[in-house]
């Protein structure tokens, strides 16, 4: 029984990373290969990122006799990556999975259900840990002294550390689930927590070089601060010195919490997953009924779908947060930004095109329409049975995206243009280009979702984050930005003034917008009506 559950969970985990559809397996081989290549690229990119950091640590710590601190830093970074990468997945997979009650109705022990789900999360944690472990091992071979016992201890630590991370993730996920279970709008709470984690992560990445330099230069002070943290010292000495006693103590504090977490969750698993979530009671109040147009009703439907899913909001709308943050940063850091551009006259002369490229790149991270059709899922038949023209259904999806994406994009562009003291004519053209780019990306996203729609997803994150429509929309948007930049800097920078170039790009985007809008209202309508 456990073997069957593990096979099902691993298949679901693999499908989540390949965009696989259960009903169209023969049609998804190329897409699965594309996703595998993309995941491999991301994996290698992060491995290289961590290698640049740990190579500096190794060069500074090993000659100073602080090898244990090197491996302690590995444990800290690996744990942080595993925790952030799996905590919300643990919440949804363990406590809010849609098939929990179905499995409990079968002759399957609850402990096996829990163990199979934790095994899938453990596999995810192990992959995340390898992103850090591989560059740590390579840097160790380059700058440190290795031994057979030390390498064996390091391998054992790599296998055991995900158990500790999973135990902490399960505990935190259980607390979040417990808190949000008594709230009416759990989506907003989950999204806020997710955004905080994401912003903290991006802030860390932005300042990573300075952090690494400071850590490498102050190894002795850091060793003194962490010397009182016995578990980290045990782990570091086990790998650096090959100490079997320290390895045993490390296994104790990594494996024991996992065992305790499993025992505690197993005892209360049925009660946790079958507890009816608290809801705020709404009293009916007699009010006059008001009729609304079909367009308004469809818009409210799309908005309700968006606000009911934290995964949809986070993955499709994270770019909105970046736009607002960058608008504020442009004002707060206006002197530094202006000084950096004015220091190089040639760069300041191209301020408007550079600003256009940067703002379009950020706005290209908004993907509301790129998954809006796929997210219909099993509810597709409901909207198809409505006495509403298909054009209005598609237009409602565009209206929702545009109503949310236009204002932050224009605010970001206007703030940056004012800070850089761009001329009034260029500012007007920049705002017009930014507006058309937002409208164009919404059209392209809906087009790609219609062309590569997958209504048979296993969980909505697969459609909102890993769908082919989202991936292709992102690549097309970034490709357009790169093409515009290449056109200006390699061809037109010396041939025409900036205002003429901006006018040319504006005209080009207007033509593309008209073509994509026509496709949506003709061939797009037919595709939506024939989806399966």
Among 232, 256, 274, the domain-final residue is 274
Residue 185 binned pLDDT confidence (cut-offs 50, 70, 90): low
For residue 276, count CB atoms less than 10 angstroms from its CB and return exposed for 0-12, middle for 13-18, buried for 19 or more.
exposed
Among 274, 308, 333, the domain-final residue is 274
What mean pLDDT comes out for the span 121-128? 89
How remote is the C-alpha of 380 from its chain's centroid?
Answer: 26
DSSP output for 491-526 = IITTTS-HHHHHHHHHHHHHHHHHHHHHHIIIIIHH
Q: Are residues 266 and 222 in the same domain?
A: yes
Give the per-residue pLDDT at 510: 96
Q: Are residues 228 and 339 in the same domain?
A: no
Segments in 144-227 forming alpha helices (H):
148-180, 186-206, 208-217, 219-226
SS3 372: coil
Domain count across the chain: 2
What mean pLDDT comes out for the span 397-402? 94
Q: Are residues 518 and 391 in the same domain?
A: yes
Higher pLDDT, 56 or 229: 56
For residue 95, count CB atoms less than 10 angstroms from its CB and return exposed for 0-12, middle for 13-18, buried for 19 or more.
buried
Give the per-residue pLDDT at 397: 93
Task: Answer whether residue 90 is part of any domain.
Answer: yes
Give the per-residue pLDDT at 172: 83
Q: Are residues 262 and 365 in the same domain?
A: no
Give the per-residue pLDDT at 513: 96
Is residue 465 within 8 Å of 317, Cβ to Cβ?
A: no
Least confident window among 41-45, 59-63, 364-368, 513-517: 41-45
Give the per-residue pLDDT at 442: 94
Residue 437 binned pLDDT confidence (cut-offs 50, 70, 90): very high
pLDDT of 409 > 80? The answer is yes
Instruction: State the Cα–Cα distance between residues 413 and 426, nearest whole angstrom.
Output: 11
Give the per-residue pLDDT at 26: 47
Q: How would you label 383-407 residue by residue, b for 16+ Cβ within 10 Å and e otherwise?
A: beeeeeebebbbbbbbbbbbebbbe
Which residues, 6+ apart, have CB-to-CB distance to 149 below 8 Å? 242, 244
Task: Answer whether residue 253 is part of any domain.
Answer: yes
| This model's pTM is above 0.85 | no
How remote is the C-alpha of 361 from its chain's centroid?
Answer: 17
Q: Are residues 337 and 265 in the same domain?
A: no
DSSP output for 246-302 = HHHHHHHHHHHHHHHHHHHHHHHHHHHHHPPPP---------------HHHHHHHHH
Is residue 108 within 8 Å of 3, Cβ to Cβ?
A: no
Instruction: State the Cα–Cα distance between residues 430 and 426, nearest whole angstrom.
Output: 6
Q: Are residues 256 and 308 in the same domain?
A: no
Give the per-residue pLDDT at 452: 85
Q: Are residues 174 and 57 in the same domain?
A: yes
pLDDT of 121 > 90? The answer is no
Least confident window among 9-18, 54-63, 117-126, 285-294: 9-18
pLDDT of 275 > 90? The answer is no
What mean pLDDT comes out for the span 521-529? 92
pLDDT of 375 > 90? The answer is no
Give the per-residue pLDDT at 110: 75
Residue 188 binned pLDDT confidence (cut-offs 50, 70, 90): low
Residue 205 binned pLDDT confidence (cut-offs 50, 70, 90): low
Higher pLDDT, 9 or 153: 153
Higher pLDDT, 271 or 398: 398
pLDDT of 505 > 70? The answer is yes
Give the per-residue pLDDT at 133: 93
Residue 524 binned pLDDT confidence (cut-offs 50, 70, 90): very high
Task: Answer whether residue 268 is part of any domain.
Answer: yes
- Read off the tokens for 423: 């001329």
Question: If DSSP states are collapsed to H, E and C, what string results for 266-278?
Answer: HHHHHHHHHCCCC
Q: Are residues 261 and 337 in the same domain?
A: no
pLDDT of 374 > 70? The answer is yes
How remote is the C-alpha of 500 from its chain's centroid?
Answer: 38
- Name residue, tokens 């079909």: 294
Is residue 462 within 8 Å of 12, Cβ to Cβ?
A: no
Instruction: State the Cα–Cα distance between residues 364 and 488, nearest whole angstrom.
Output: 19
pLDDT of 18 > 60? The answer is no
Q: Give the whole-number percent of the chain exceeding pLDDT 70.
A: 80
What mean pLDDT comes out for the span 135-155? 91
Segments in 452-494 forming alpha helices (H):
460-466, 468-487
Each residue of 439-469: pLDDT tens digit? 999 999 999 999 888 887 766 766 777 677 8
What mean pLDDT comes out for the span 304-313? 81
Give the per-residue pLDDT at 438: 96
Higher pLDDT, 102 or 403: 403
Question: Mean pLDDT of all residues in the chain?
Answer: 82
Four-point Cα dihedral 60, 61, 63, 65, nearest 10: 160
Give the per-residue pLDDT at 421: 87
Q: Which of 310, 143, 312, 159 is nearest to 247 (CA)?
A: 159
Q: Are residues 323 and 197 in the same domain?
A: no
Task: Report in angstroms the alpha-carbon separations of 11 from 14, 73, 301.
Answer: 5, 33, 33
Which residues, 6+ apart, have CB-to-CB distance to 443 below 8 Å? 369, 398, 513, 516, 517, 520
Task: Answer whether residue 22 is part of any domain.
Answer: no
Higher pLDDT, 101 or 307: 307
Q: Are residues 311 and 353 in the same domain?
A: yes
Q: Give the whole-number percent of the chain exceeding pLDDT 90.
A: 30
Is residue 467 within 8 Å of 434, Cβ to Cβ?
A: no
Query: Which of the 8 DSSP states describes residue 455?
Result: -
Task: Answer whether residue 234 is part of any domain.
Answer: yes
Give the per-residue pLDDT at 115: 82
- Read off the tokens for 11: 């298949």
What mean pLDDT comes out for the span 172-192? 68
Task: Answer whether residue 16 is part of any domain.
Answer: no
Give the per-residue pLDDT at 135: 92
Host domain of residue 439: 300-529
Q: Are residues 417 and 505 in the same domain?
A: yes
Task: Answer whether residue 122 is part of any domain.
Answer: yes
- Name residue, tokens 């006018």: 503
Least confident window among 45-59, 184-198, 263-277, 287-301: 184-198
pLDDT of 180 > 70? The answer is no
Residue 413 binned pLDDT confidence (cut-offs 50, 70, 90): very high
Higher pLDDT, 264 or 340: 264
Q: Are residues 321 and 367 in the same domain?
A: yes
Higher pLDDT, 384 or 229: 384
Among 240, 274, 308, the domain-final residue is 274
Pick the most confident of 14-28, 62-76, 95-109, 282-296.
62-76
Give the per-residue pLDDT at 184: 60
Task: Answer whether residue 472 is part of any domain.
Answer: yes
């Amino acid at each position: 029984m456990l073997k069957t559950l593990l096979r099902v969970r691993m298949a679901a985990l693999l499908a989540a990373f390949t965009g696989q559809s259960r009903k169209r397996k023969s049609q998804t081989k190329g897409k699965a290969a594309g996703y595998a290549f993309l995941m491999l690229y991301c994996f290698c990119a992060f491995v290289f990122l961590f290698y640049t950091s740990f190579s500096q640590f190794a060069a500074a710590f090993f000659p100073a006799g602080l090898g244990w601190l090197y491996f302690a830093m590995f444990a800290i970074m690996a744990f942080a990556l595993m925790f952030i990468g799996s905590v919300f997945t643990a919440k949804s997979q363990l406590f809010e999975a849609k098939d929990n009650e179905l499995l409990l109705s079968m002759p399957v022990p609850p402990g096996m259900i829990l163990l199979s789900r934790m095994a899938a999360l453990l596999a995810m944690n192990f992959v995340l840990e390898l992103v850090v472990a591989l560059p740590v091992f390579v840097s160790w071979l380059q700058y440190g002294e290795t031994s057979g016992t030390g390498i064996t201890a390091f391998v054992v630590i790599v296998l055991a550390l995900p158990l500790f991370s999973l135990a902490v993730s399960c505990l935190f996920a259980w607390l979040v689930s417990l808190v949000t279970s008594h709230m009416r709008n759990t989506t907003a709470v989950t999204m806020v927590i997710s955004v905080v984690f994401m912003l903290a992560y991006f802030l860390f990445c932005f300042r990573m070089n300075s952090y690494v330099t400071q850590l490498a230069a102050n190894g002795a002070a850091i060793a003194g601060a962490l010397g009182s943290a016995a578990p980290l010292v045990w782990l570091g000495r086990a790998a650096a010195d090959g100490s079997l006693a320290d390895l045993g103590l490390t296994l104790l504090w990594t494996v024991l919490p996992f065992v305790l977490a499993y025992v505690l969750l197993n005892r209360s698993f049925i009660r946790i997953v079958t507890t009816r979530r608290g809801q705020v009671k709404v009293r009916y109040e007699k009010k006059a009924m008001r009729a609304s147009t079909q367009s308004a009703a469809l818009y409210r439907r799309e908005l309700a779908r968006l606000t009911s899913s934290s995964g949809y909001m986070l993955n499709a709308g994270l770019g909105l947060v970046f736009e607002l943050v960058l608008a504020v940063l442009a004002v707060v850091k206006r002197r530094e930004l202006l000084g950096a551009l004015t220091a190089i006259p040639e760069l300041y002369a191209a301020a408007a095109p550079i600003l256009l490229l940067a703002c379009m790149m950020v706005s290209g991270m908004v993907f509301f329409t790129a998954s809006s059709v796929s997210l219909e899922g099993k509810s597709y038949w409901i909207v198809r049975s409505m006495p509403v023209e298909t054009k209005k259904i598609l237009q409602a999806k565009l209206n929702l995206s545009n109503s949310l994406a236009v204002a932050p994009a224009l605010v970001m562009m206007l703030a940056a243009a004012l800070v850089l003291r761009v001329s009034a004519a260029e500012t007007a053209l920049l705002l017009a280009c930014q507006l058309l780019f937002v409208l164009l990306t919404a059209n392209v996203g809906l087009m790609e979702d219609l062309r590569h729609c997958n209504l048979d997803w296993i969980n909505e994150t697969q459609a909102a984050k890993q769908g082919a429509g989202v991936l292709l929309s992102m690549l097309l948007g970034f490709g357009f930005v790169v093409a515009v930049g290449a056109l200006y800097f390699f061809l037109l920078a010396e041939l025409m003034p900036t205002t003429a170039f901006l006018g040319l790009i504006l005209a080009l985007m207007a033509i593309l917008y008209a073509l994509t809008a026509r496709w949506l209202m003709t061939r797009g309508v037919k595709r939506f009506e024939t989806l399966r």
